[in-house]
């Protein structure tokens, strides 16, 4: 609005007219009194001090018009355009109006150039609490992009507090921009991964390459591999997995079978998981569990691990014994418990696996076995005791 006013011909005409008004008004008399006569009387009294005053009406500037003279109002089309106070509408519309104004700000914003590197007179800080409130996911996405556009300009910084995993997932390509607050009794702690810490995490994630001797290969490029590690977090931490940032405890499991089955039990039978705000994370295979342990530890999030031991088998493709040791060695003080099945979840529950080699049938299979009552109650209770034990520490 300020830009529209300051560049308009009408505003230029207004300034010209105001200058004429100011000059005429100073000497214009009303009831025998004028600004000039008042100034003369005051200055006669101040003459002994060797000073005088001048009086004029300040010119109108765009900021004055935007702050004091522009009066936006809501026109309700259902009431034939009648003006209605915004407070009479629900939070949905009010939030959407804020969301729209921020979008427009990103669209029409003109970057200001600071005259010095260490000081910007036009620095703008926006604090936005719960930007996701009352917005559909698609609107959250557009708002996030608008905020990013605004914050990318010089002299602009935006800080938001959010409970939206969508907002967090959009920021994974810049993990250091995420700050997790965790309240412990009377104290609130902030956890934020600095860029140097992130590089250390990404480098530590290559532990398997070092254990297997892969890093001795002349073609091994550690810088490229570290860059790949950052991409993995970006790919994995979608709006679903980013729920880990809001959990009190994260249970890391190997794949979708464990994730889907434990979520199923948590929603229907094992209330302690939901009551304790345990988030169950599918790590996309045992080969990534250590990566999530490293990340969760830096974020100050307690976690536990449940994974398949695969009988410590070793073949030309996978050395399970090495990976099992790697996962157990990755434990930190925030790793509250680790349980390794001798073979896998299906073997532990004494249920048959699907005949097909398709991995996507395994989660369906374990749910069907549970619903049909083919999982023995004693095995289910044993699994419950294991999960409760490693998540309740």
Whole-angstrom distance, CA of residue 383 vs CA of residue 379: 6
* 345 neighbors 291 (Cβ within 8 angstroms): no
Yes or no: domain 237-391 corresponds to CATH 3.30.70: no
> Which pLDDT tens digit goes with each residue over 19-35?
888 777 777 776 677 77
CA distances from 235 to 109, 173, 178, 240, 283 (A): 32, 9, 17, 12, 12
Mean pLDDT of the chain: 87
> Which pLDDT tens digit goes with each residue over 168-192?
999 998 999 999 998 877 888 999 9
For the chain, which residues make up each domain, given as ranges? 1-72, 237-391
- What local confidence, expressed as pLDDT, does residue 117 receive? 55
Hey, what are 144's tokens?
């996030």
Helical (H) or strand (E) element with 278: strand 278-282
What confidence tier does 10 reach under pLDDT thresholds 50, 70, 90?
A: confident
Beta bridge partners of 116: 119
Beta bridge partners of 184: 187
> Which pLDDT tens digit goes with each residue over 213-224?
888 998 989 899
Q: Which of 21-30, 156-165, 269-278, 307-316 has the highest mean pLDDT?
A: 269-278
Whole-angstrom distance, CA of residue 315 vs CA of residue 127: 55
pTM, two decimals, is 0.75
Question: For 118, phi and psi rounded to 5 degrees?
Answer: -95, 5
Helical (H) or strand (E) element with 187: strand 187-192
- What local confidence, expressed as pLDDT, does residue 31 receive? 65
Identify the weakest region by mean pLDDT among 65-79, 297-311, 325-339: 65-79
- What local confidence, expressed as pLDDT, does residue 114 receive? 52
Whole-angstrom distance, CA of residue 380 vs CA of residue 384: 6
Whole-angstrom distance, CA of residue 176 vs CA of residue 119: 24
Over residues 324-336, mean pLDDT: 95
């Amino acid at each position: 609005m300020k830009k529209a006013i300051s560049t308009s011909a009408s505003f230029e005409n207004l300034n010209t007219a105001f200058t004429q008004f100011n000059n005429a008004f100073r000497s214009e008399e009303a009831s025998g009194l004028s600004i000039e006569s008042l100034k003369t009387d005051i200055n006669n009294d101040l003459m002994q001090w060797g000073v005088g005053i001048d009086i004029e009406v300040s010119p109108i500037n765009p900021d004055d018009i935007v702050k004091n003279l522009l009066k936006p109002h809501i026109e309700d089309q259902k009431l034939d355009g009648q003006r209605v106070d915004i407070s009479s509408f629900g939070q949905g519309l009010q939030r959407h109006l804020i969301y729209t104004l921020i979008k427009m700000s990103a669209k029409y914003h003109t970057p200001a150039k600071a005259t010095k590197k260490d000081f910007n007179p036009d620095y703008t800080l926006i604090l936005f609490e719960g930007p996701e409130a009352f917005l559909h996911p698609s609107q959250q996405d557009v708002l996030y992009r608008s905020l990013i556009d605004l914050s990318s300009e010089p002299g602009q910084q935006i800080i938001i507090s959010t409970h939206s995993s969508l907002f967090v997932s959009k920021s994974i390509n810049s993990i250091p921009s995420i700050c997790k607050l965790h309240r412990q009794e009377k104290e609130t702690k902030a956890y934020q991964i600095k860029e140097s810490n992130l590089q250390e995490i990404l480098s530590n994630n290559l532990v398997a390459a070092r254990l297997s001797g892969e890093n001795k290969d002349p073609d091994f490029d550690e810088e490229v591999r570290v860059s790949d590690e950052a991409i993995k977090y970006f790919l994995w931490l979608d709006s679903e997995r980013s729920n880990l940032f809001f959990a009190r405890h994260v249970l890391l499991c190997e794949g979708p079978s464990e994730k889907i089955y434990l979520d199923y039990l948590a929603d229907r039978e094992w209330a302690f998981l939901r009551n304790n705000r345990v988030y169950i994370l599918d790590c996309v295979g045992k080969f990534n569990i250590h990566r999530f342990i490293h990340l969760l530890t830096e974020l100050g999030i307690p976690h536990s691990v449940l994974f398949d031991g695969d009988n410590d088998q070793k073949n030309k493709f996978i050395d399970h014994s090495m990976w099992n040791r790697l996962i157990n060695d990755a434990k930190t003080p925030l790793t509250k418990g680790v349980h390794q099945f001798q073979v896998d979840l299906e073997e532990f529950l004494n249920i048959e696996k699907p005949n097909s080699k398709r991995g996507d049938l395994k989660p369906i299979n374990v749910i069907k076995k549970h619903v049909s009552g083919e999982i023995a109650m004693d095995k289910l209770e044993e699994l419950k005791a294991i999960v409760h034990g490693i998540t309740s520490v």
